[in-house]
Protein backbone atom coordinates (compact mmCIF):
# COMPACT_ATOMS: atom_id res chain seq x y z
CA UNK A 1 0.00 0.00 0.00
CA UNK A 2 1.43 3.32 -1.03
CA UNK A 3 1.83 5.67 1.85
CA UNK A 4 1.69 9.44 1.64
CA UNK A 5 5.16 10.84 1.57
CA UNK A 6 6.67 8.14 -0.57
CA UNK A 7 6.77 10.48 -3.51
CA UNK A 8 9.28 12.92 -2.20
CA UNK A 9 7.34 14.15 0.80
CA UNK A 10 6.31 17.58 -0.29
CA UNK A 11 3.41 19.95 -0.17
CA UNK A 12 0.03 18.55 0.60
CA UNK A 13 1.43 15.09 1.14
CA UNK A 14 3.35 16.30 4.14
CA UNK A 15 0.13 17.55 5.65
CA UNK A 16 -1.26 14.05 5.39
CA UNK A 17 1.88 12.65 6.95
CA UNK A 18 1.55 15.12 9.80
CA UNK A 19 -2.07 14.15 10.38
CA UNK A 20 -1.10 10.48 10.40
CA UNK A 21 1.74 11.13 12.84
CA UNK A 22 -0.63 12.92 15.17
CA UNK A 23 -2.77 9.81 15.02
CA UNK A 24 0.31 7.83 16.13
CA UNK A 25 0.96 6.07 12.83
CA UNK A 26 4.53 4.73 13.09
CA UNK A 27 5.30 5.05 9.38
CA UNK A 28 4.44 8.76 9.55
CA UNK A 29 7.08 9.36 12.20
CA UNK A 30 9.67 7.76 10.00
CA UNK A 31 8.56 9.91 7.09
CA UNK A 32 8.75 13.10 9.13
CA UNK A 33 12.14 12.08 10.42
CA UNK A 34 13.56 11.47 6.98
CA UNK A 35 12.21 14.81 5.85
CA UNK A 36 13.16 17.07 8.74
CA UNK A 37 15.96 15.38 10.67
CA UNK A 38 18.60 16.24 8.05
CA UNK A 39 17.62 19.88 8.26
CA UNK A 40 17.76 19.88 12.03
CA UNK A 41 21.09 18.05 12.01
CA UNK A 42 22.50 20.49 9.49
CA UNK A 43 21.32 23.45 11.52
CA UNK A 44 22.81 22.05 14.71
CA UNK A 45 26.04 21.02 13.01
CA UNK A 46 26.58 24.43 11.45
CA UNK A 47 25.74 26.04 14.77
CA UNK A 48 28.60 24.16 16.34
CA UNK A 49 26.69 21.65 18.45
CA UNK A 50 29.00 19.17 20.15
CA UNK A 51 26.92 16.16 19.13
CA UNK A 52 24.61 17.27 16.33
CA UNK A 53 23.39 13.78 15.56
CA UNK A 54 22.52 12.90 19.13
CA UNK A 55 20.91 16.27 19.68
CA UNK A 56 18.89 15.88 16.51
CA UNK A 57 17.57 12.53 17.67
CA UNK A 58 16.73 14.04 21.01
CA UNK A 59 14.85 16.89 19.37
CA UNK A 60 12.96 14.62 17.01
CA UNK A 61 12.02 12.21 19.76
CA UNK A 62 10.73 15.04 21.91
CA UNK A 63 8.76 16.46 19.02
CA UNK A 64 7.21 13.11 18.23
CA UNK A 65 6.18 12.61 21.81
CA UNK A 66 4.53 16.00 21.87
CA UNK A 67 2.94 15.63 18.48
CA UNK A 68 -0.44 14.29 19.65
CA UNK A 69 -0.99 17.62 21.39
CA UNK A 70 0.32 19.71 18.53
CA UNK A 71 -2.17 21.73 16.54
CA UNK A 72 -1.19 23.34 13.30
CA UNK A 73 -0.18 22.73 9.73
CA UNK A 74 3.15 21.64 8.36
CA UNK A 75 4.49 25.21 8.37
CA UNK A 76 3.62 25.46 12.04
CA UNK A 77 5.23 22.12 12.64
CA UNK A 78 8.44 23.25 10.99
CA UNK A 79 8.51 26.40 13.06
CA UNK A 80 7.78 24.44 16.22
CA UNK A 81 10.46 21.91 15.40
CA UNK A 82 13.15 24.54 14.99
CA UNK A 83 11.97 26.39 18.05
CA UNK A 84 12.70 23.26 20.02
CA UNK A 85 15.95 22.64 18.18
CA UNK A 86 17.08 26.18 18.92
CA UNK A 87 16.32 25.84 22.61
CA UNK A 88 17.96 22.48 22.84
CA UNK A 89 21.02 23.94 21.24
CA UNK A 90 21.17 26.67 23.87
CA UNK A 91 20.65 24.12 26.62
CA UNK A 92 23.34 21.96 25.12
CA UNK A 93 25.79 24.83 25.11
CA UNK A 94 25.04 25.73 28.67
CA UNK A 95 25.23 22.15 29.77
CA UNK A 96 28.56 21.67 28.11
CA UNK A 97 29.76 24.99 29.50
CA UNK A 98 31.24 25.93 26.21
CA UNK A 99 30.83 29.23 24.54
CA UNK A 100 29.24 29.35 21.10
CA UNK A 101 31.95 28.59 18.63
CA UNK A 102 31.90 31.81 16.70
CA UNK A 103 35.53 31.65 15.73
CA UNK A 104 35.77 28.06 14.75
CA UNK A 105 32.80 25.95 13.88
CA UNK A 106 32.66 22.38 14.87
CA UNK A 107 33.26 20.53 11.67
CA UNK A 108 31.51 17.30 11.76
CA UNK A 109 33.04 14.90 9.33
CA UNK A 110 30.47 12.79 7.67
CA UNK A 111 31.16 9.15 7.81
CA UNK A 112 31.88 7.63 4.49
CA UNK A 113 30.85 4.08 3.94
CA UNK A 114 32.45 3.43 0.63
CA UNK A 115 31.21 4.96 -2.58
CA UNK A 116 32.84 7.49 -4.80
CA UNK A 117 35.87 8.80 -2.97
CA UNK A 118 36.39 11.67 -5.37
CA UNK A 119 32.80 12.77 -5.05
CA UNK A 120 32.99 12.56 -1.30
CA UNK A 121 36.17 14.62 -1.32
CA UNK A 122 34.47 17.29 -3.38
CA UNK A 123 31.48 17.47 -1.11
CA UNK A 124 33.78 17.68 1.89
CA UNK A 125 35.54 20.61 0.29
CA UNK A 126 32.20 22.25 -0.29
CA UNK A 127 31.27 21.70 3.33
CA UNK A 128 34.53 23.21 4.48
CA UNK A 129 33.92 26.19 2.27
CA UNK A 130 30.45 26.68 3.68
CA UNK A 131 31.76 26.44 7.22
CA UNK A 132 34.50 28.91 6.42
CA UNK A 133 31.93 31.33 5.12
CA UNK A 134 29.79 31.00 8.21
CA UNK A 135 32.74 31.59 10.47
CA UNK A 136 32.83 35.16 9.27
CA UNK A 137 29.38 35.84 10.65
CA UNK A 138 28.50 36.88 14.14
CA UNK A 139 26.55 34.43 16.22
CA UNK A 140 23.26 36.22 15.66
CA UNK A 141 23.83 36.71 11.95
CA UNK A 142 24.61 33.05 11.54
CA UNK A 143 21.54 32.09 13.50
CA UNK A 144 19.31 34.15 11.26
CA UNK A 145 20.90 32.98 8.02
CA UNK A 146 20.73 29.33 9.01
CA UNK A 147 17.13 29.49 10.14
CA UNK A 148 16.17 31.26 6.95
CA UNK A 149 18.15 29.06 4.58
CA UNK A 150 18.40 25.63 6.21
CA UNK A 151 15.09 25.64 8.05
CA UNK A 152 13.39 27.64 5.29
CA UNK A 153 11.55 29.83 7.77
CA UNK A 154 10.13 33.27 7.16
CA UNK A 155 11.42 36.44 8.79
CA UNK A 156 8.46 36.44 11.14
CA UNK A 157 8.99 32.84 12.17
CA UNK A 158 12.67 33.44 12.80
CA UNK A 159 11.80 36.51 14.84
CA UNK A 160 9.47 34.45 17.01
CA UNK A 161 12.05 31.75 17.57
CA UNK A 162 14.80 34.19 18.48
CA UNK A 163 12.54 36.50 20.45
CA UNK A 164 13.34 39.47 18.27
CA UNK A 165 11.34 41.86 16.15
CA UNK A 166 11.09 41.16 12.43
CA UNK A 167 12.91 44.41 11.72
CA UNK A 168 15.84 43.30 13.82
CA UNK A 169 15.92 39.96 12.04
CA UNK A 170 15.93 41.70 8.66
CA UNK A 171 18.80 43.87 9.78
CA UNK A 172 20.82 40.88 10.94
CA UNK A 173 20.03 39.09 7.71
CA UNK A 174 21.11 42.04 5.62
CA UNK A 175 24.36 42.46 7.48
CA UNK A 176 25.03 38.75 7.39
CA UNK A 177 24.55 38.56 3.65
CA UNK A 178 26.74 41.60 3.17
CA UNK A 179 29.45 39.98 5.23
CA UNK A 180 29.18 36.78 3.20
CA UNK A 181 29.41 38.72 0.00
CA UNK A 182 32.57 40.43 1.16
CA UNK A 183 34.11 37.09 1.97
CA UNK A 184 33.14 35.69 -1.39
CA UNK A 185 34.69 38.69 -3.07
CA UNK A 186 37.84 38.16 -1.08
CA UNK A 187 37.86 34.50 -2.12
CA UNK A 188 37.55 35.55 -5.74
CA UNK A 189 40.46 37.95 -5.42
CA UNK A 190 42.75 35.50 -3.69
CA UNK A 191 41.87 32.66 -6.02
Partner 1 sequence: VNPSCDDGDEMRRDPELDDRTAEDILHGRVAALEGDDRMLAEAMTALRAEARTPPRPSAQLLEVFSEGVGEQAVPVACGMRGGSRRTERRPVARLAGLGLLTKAVLAGTAAAAVAIAGAGAAGVLPDQPNDPPPAGPAEESEADVGLDIADEATRDRVVGQDVADEVRQMREHAAQRDEAGDESGQEARDLRGENSQPGLDRAGEHTDRAPGSVPESDGTAGERADDRTGDTPAEQRGSDTPAPRAPPPGPGTGASGEDDGITTDRRVEAPRQDSDQRP
State yes or no: residue 52 binds partner 1 (CB under 8 A). yes
Q: Does 186 bind partner 1 (CB under 8 A)?
A: no
42 binds partner 1 (CB under 8 A): yes
Minimum separation from the CB atom of position 12 to partner 1 (A) = 20
Residues 112-171 that bind partner 1 (CB under 8 A): 126-127, 129-130, 133-134, 145-146, 148-150, 157, 160-161, 163, 170
Q: Which region among 7-15, 98-106, 112-120, 173-181 touches partner 1 (by CB under 8 A)?
A: 173-181
Q: Which segment (1-9, 11-19, 45-53, 112-120) binds partner 1 by CB under 8 A?
A: 45-53
> Does the protein bind partner 1 through residue 49 (CB under 8 A)?
no
Among residues 11 and 72, whose Cβ is nearest to partner 1?
72
Rounded Cα–Cα distance for residues 46 and 62 (Å): 21
Q: Kindly write out the interface string for residues 56-75 of this chain, putting x where it contacts partner 1 by CB under 8 A and - elsewhere.
A: xxx-xxxxxxxxxxxxx---
Q: What is the DSSP string of the chain?
A: ---TTTT---THHHHHHHHHHHTT-HHHHHHHHHHHHHHHHHHHHHTT-SSHHHHHHHHHHHHHHHGGG--S-HHHHHHHHHHHHHHHHHHHHHHHT----SSS---PPPP--SS-HHHHHHHHHHHHHHHHHHTTS-HHHHHHHHHHHTS---HHHHHHHHT--HHHHHHHHHHHHHHHHHHHHHHHHH-
Q: Candidates 6, 7, 24, 116: give the one binding partner 1 (CB under 8 A).
A: 24
Shortest Å, Cβ 48 to partner 1: 13
At a CB cut-off of 8 Å and minimum separation 6, what does 14 contact? 5, 35, 74
Figure out which of the listed residues 10, 121, 178, 186 binds partner 1, where binding follows CB under 8 A: 178
Among 15, 16, 30, 120, which residue interacts with partner 1 (rule: CB under 8 A)? 30
Q: How far is the CB of 13 from partner 1 (least distance, A)?
A: 18
Nearest by Cα to 51 from 108, 105, 131, 111: 108
Amino acid sequence: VARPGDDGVAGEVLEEVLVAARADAPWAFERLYSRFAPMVAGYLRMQGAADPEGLTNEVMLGVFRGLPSFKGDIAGFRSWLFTIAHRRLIDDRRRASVRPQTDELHRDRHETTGGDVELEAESQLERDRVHALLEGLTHEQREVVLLRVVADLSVEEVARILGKRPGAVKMLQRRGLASLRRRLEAEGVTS
